[in-house]
Amino acid sequence: MNTSKSSSGVLKRILGLPSLFAIAVGVVVAQIVFISILQGVGLGGGDFFVALIIAFILTLCYVFTFSELALMLPKAGSISAYTEVAIGHLPAIVATIAGYLAPAIFGLSAELFLLEAVLETLYPESYSQIGWLIIIVLMSLNIMGVDFFSKVQSLLAYLMITALLVIGITGLTQSDPQGGSVIAIWEELRDVDLSVLSLTMLALWSFLGLEFVCPMIEETKNPVKNIPRSMILAAVVLLVIYALVALAGYLTVPQTALAESEIPHAVLVTALFGESGKLILAVLAITATCSTINTVLATIPRMLYGMARNGQLPNLFMKLHPKTKTPWVGIVFVASLIMVPTILLRGQDDIILTLVISAATAWLVAYIISHINLIVLRKRYPDFKRPFRSPWYPIPQVLGIIGMVYMILNNSPSPEMTLQVYMNAGLIVLISSVYGGLWVKYKMKKGWFEPEPIEKVLKN
């Protein structure tokens, strides 16, 4: 496709490997991830590094699955396109709305609250409304074009990686560490048992979201190479960075201080740099939050665009900006939804945490559906052209399903929260199912679990 021209209904191919890598890393590394990593090493010590490896393996499982599906069905709708061909329109709608839109709304609202909390600690009464400003600015930049988005995202992602490397390397070279020792880690590793699986929950949260490059496939140059490479490269880089930061935290700060802190990355940065660390922490917090929001505002609207093109949403979401060729209706819609919880739930931290975990549970269901999609499509279309084939099929898919089921069964921080999480997640799935069921039956006039022929979806 010509990258300099695009018809009114076609996305423009602009993104290369560096931009896709920035998207993959940017959506994953949020402030909530810093909390997971540092609290994980605070709770588990040396065992947490084993949990990181297990999480990395499960990450490769879903990366392999999404790489094959994305290149087999290179559509902006991503999970909705794969699912409608494999198991029908109803699960396609549920997987996208419950598995991606809902987690984006509640997760990003929590991320904004966390950013405001960090900045309030560093600079009291200076940045109380920064969340709304960030959403408005990033929404505008996304509407201005995918080239603007990619430049902003690359800047944010690489600044964030640099800050994390500085923190990790500084922590390893401390002259007066207050935490554990490398020798202690090796001693702990000799006694690793199945309890490490509980730590894997915290580690795996830190790798979820690399597949957000897939909705950008219609705007990607040479997607056959760049889509799989970007996700695999991001997974490897994140493993190294997380290990460095976790090790820095383990060596620098007592484990109890990391485990008990609500913002352990602030504890670590303060321990490493003292008062001068305020600026580093502020940069890290702002770039992490902005990077995640920027990526979600780019990718989720592309999913909605693809769903509308496949008849699963109103045609309004299929509209592209006449000059920049961006799905501006979806961008405004998602940005507006993110702002709603920031208005209604301000100050209700316990409710926000419960909603985030509940929405994330629905997200894990979407991962299970993606693995099922690949298994079904391998059987239904055994000879179909696949530019990328998942290595060692079906082992990654089976491991991925088992891992995500385990996460769903063990994803709340306390038994008291478990029932509420399941009820909320069930409500999210129920609402999306009711919409999907009515829309598919009465608007699309199709069966709920009636798969679309792959040729029809590719031609659409």
Query: Which residues form the domain of 44?
Result: 19-459
Q: Is the residue at 66 inside a domain?
A: yes
Q: Is residue 39 a part of any domain in this protein?
A: yes
Q: How much is the pLDDT for 4?
A: 34
- The pLDDT, as a whole number, for residue 414 is 64
CB neighbours of 79 closer than 8 A, spacing ≥ 6? 92, 95, 96, 99, 100, 211, 214, 303, 366, 369, 370
356-373, pLDDT tens digit by residue? 778 788 889 999 999 999
The DSSP-derived string for 290-309 is HHHHHHHHHHHHHHHHHHHH
Q: So what's the pLDDT on residue 128?
A: 65
Q: How far is CA 18 from CA 72, 161, 225, 325, in A?
A: 23, 13, 12, 21
d(CA 127, CA 425): 32
Q: What is the pLDDT of residues 164-178, one digit of tens each?
A: 899 999 988 876 667
Q: What φ, ψ does residue 298 adopt, rounded to 5°?
A: -90, -40
8 A C-beta contact, residue 69 and residue 86: no
From residue 366, give the alpha-carbon distance in Å to each of 200, 246, 446, 455: 19, 29, 22, 24
Does 7 fall in a domain?
no
Each residue's pLDDT tens digit in the chain (460 positions)?
A: 333 333 445 666 788 999 999 999 988 888 888 888 999 899 888 899 999 999 999 999 999 999 999 999 998 879 999 999 999 999 999 999 999 998 888 888 888 888 888 888 877 776 667 888 899 999 999 999 888 788 888 888 888 888 889 999 998 887 666 777 778 888 887 877 777 888 888 888 889 999 999 999 998 999 999 999 999 999 999 999 999 999 999 999 998 999 888 889 888 998 888 878 888 888 888 888 898 999 999 999 999 999 999 899 999 999 998 888 899 999 999 999 998 888 877 767 667 667 777 878 888 999 999 999 999 999 999 999 999 999 999 999 999 999 999 888 877 666 677 888 888 888 889 999 999 999 999 999 999 999 999 998 888 7
What's the distance, CA 45 to chain centroid?
Answer: 25
Copy the structure tokens of residue 252. 């620098």
Is residue 423 one of the residues assigned to a domain? yes
Q: Give the pair of three-digit tokens for residue 264.
A: 């352990």
pLDDT value of residue 33: 86
- CA distances, 392 to each of 61, 138, 286 (Å): 10, 40, 40
Is 398 inside a domain boundary? yes
**What 3-state class would DSSP assign to 220?**
strand
Residue 70 lies in a domain: yes
Cβ–Cβ contacts within 10 Å for residue 158, how many? 17
Predicted confidence at residue 106, as pLDDT, reads 83
Q: Is residue 227 within 8 Å of residue 20, measured between CB atoms?
A: yes
- Residue type (1 letter), 239: L
Which CATH number belongs to the domain containing residue 440 in this structure? 1.20.1740.10
Distance CA 206, CA 32 (A): 8
The whole-model pTM stands at 0.90
Residue 5 lies in a domain: no
pLDDT of residue 281: 86
Q: Residue 143 is encoded by which pair of tokens?
A: 């509407």
Task: Please state the domain count of the chain.
Answer: 1
Q: Is the peptide bond before 394 cis (omega within 30 degrees of 0)?
A: yes
Residues whose CB falls within 8 Å of the CB of residue 415, separated by 6 or more in sequence, listed in order: none
CA distance 290 to 272: 24
In a domain, 13, yes or no: no
